[in-house]
């Protein structure tokens, strides 16, 4: 069963507007972590933001914020004031395992296009 679901294959946003990328997850663990990564066309995986399951505050990193709704098992990424350079694939991921191995399980990704 898919553990990370990103229902938006593609999203379009106008420059300087805000956009929300959806992510829902499925886990029975009490302790888990949720990540968002950006992958531009060049291919590298760029870490954006992290939310721990016990964190009471929504994570924020500059223009990125994570709308964490634990009861709904959702961890949506909000990008404020979009820039042309934000055009990329965005992956939501969940950390599985503990201790010596905490592999990441990724969603299928959302391709964001920022229009001028």
Partner 1 sequence: AAGVIQSPRHLIKEKRETATLKCYPIPRHDTVYWYQQGPGQDPQFLISFYEKMQSDKGSIPDRFSAQQFSDYHSELNMSSLELGDSALYFCASSPHGLAGTYNEQFFGPGTRLTVL
Binding site residues, partner 1, CB under 8 A: 31, 33, 37, 43-45, 47, 50, 52, 91, 97-109
The C-alpha atoms of residue 45 and residue 81 are separated, in whole angstroms, by: 22
**Residue 61 backbone dihedrals phi, psi, to 5 degrees:** -145, 95
C-beta of 37 vs 68, nearer to partner 1: 37
Cβ-Cβ contacts under 8 Å for 37 (sequence gap 6 or more): 45, 46, 47, 48, 90, 91, 93, 106
C-beta of 15 vs 102, nearer to partner 1: 102
**Considering the complex, what minimum distance in angstroms separates the CB of residue 18 from partner 1?**
25
C-beta of 43 vs 116, nearer to partner 1: 43
């Amino acid at each position: 069963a898919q553990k990370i679901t990103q229902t938006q294959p593609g999203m379009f946003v106008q420059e300087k507007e805000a956009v929300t990328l959806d992510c829902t997850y499925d886990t029975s663990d009490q302790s888990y972590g949720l990540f968002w990564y950006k992958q531009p066309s060049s291919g590298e995986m760029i870490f954006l933001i992290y939310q721990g399951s016990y964190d009471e505050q929504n994570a924020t990193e500059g223009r990125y914020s994570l709308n964490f709704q634990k009861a709904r098992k959702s961890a949506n990424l909000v990008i404020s004031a979009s820039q042309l350079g934000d055009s990329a694939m965005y992956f939501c991921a969940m950390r599985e395992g503990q201790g010596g191995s905490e592999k990441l399980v990724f969603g299928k990704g959302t391709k964001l296009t920022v229009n001028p």
